[in-house]
Structure 1
Amino acid sequence: MADKEMIQEKIGEALGLEKAAQKAVEQLDSRGLLEPEHVKKLSKMKDEAGKQEQQMEELVEELTDSDGFDSSTIEEKAAETADKASKMMEAYLGEDPDTQEALEFLCLAEGGEVVHYEVLASVAKDVKNKKFGTRIRAILKQEKGHLNFCTKLAKSNAASA
């Protein structure tokens, strides 16, 4: 059986990564690192991340009632993770990044989200609220799609360079 604290931590990390993904698309676009055709496509992904963030926040409220989770612990972990992800982006991109590096970072970020949702899906049986597993699996499916999409963009961009 998974430890309640670990589940709360992973929920917070997943929530923080959702926030960071949206911020990353905005920052990469504002820095001119994304081509106009990428921005249009990535905007849809950013909107989906916003919806996923909202779903996770609603889920946290439900889990506070059904499973006695501590929403402040989850929110703190989410803020910490979002901050770490932003710092990772800056370190990854360095001083003079290009479009390819920006797209590859988005792939890295989406991969991180997939892993966190895979972990949450694997411990869903240990959560009383059955909506948890259903919602996590639905978000995981979308995240796998986001990773596939980012990978295609990075490959296409590299091929046309």
Structure 2
Amino acid sequence: MSQSDLRWRLRQLPNEIEPPRDLWPGIAARLPAQAPRRPHRRWLGGLSLAASLALGLGLAWQLRVPEVARPDPQAELVQREADALTREYEAALGNFDGLPMPEPLAPALATLDSSAGEIRAALDADPQARYLLGKLRRTYARRLELTQRAAGSPHA
């Protein structure tokens, strides 16, 4: 039989063939009556509930709002002292408002002002750092001294 004869015969076959009878009853008869069921484990549900509860409590504990600490009396004292220093400094500096400052001193004055601001921010972050009060006091004193010299001599 040649290739072309074989192809011609294949084309002559029907695309679909209906079985002569219903095959499902025979298949169903060969299947076991019912697959064995696993015993129901009630404790597994309780265990999963306990695990979910533990997870929820753990998350709640991790996300809790931290307690508000009572203010430390020493920290409050440091803050009040820093505030008093700043008020005194600003009052003393106010005496020089409107006086012309020599242009070459502007960068030094700006640096001292910036340093004072950084020290105040550090005190706000760590109010127990008493040593910062000394630094703030010295920075304010240098700034005032430089301003006084500049105001007293036009060629400072």
* The two structures share one fold, judged by TM-score above 0.5: no
> Structure 2 length as normaliser, TM-score?
0.35
Q: Between the two structures, name the one with larger relative contact order (CA 8 Å, sep ≥ 6).
A: 1
- Structure with greater helix percent: 1
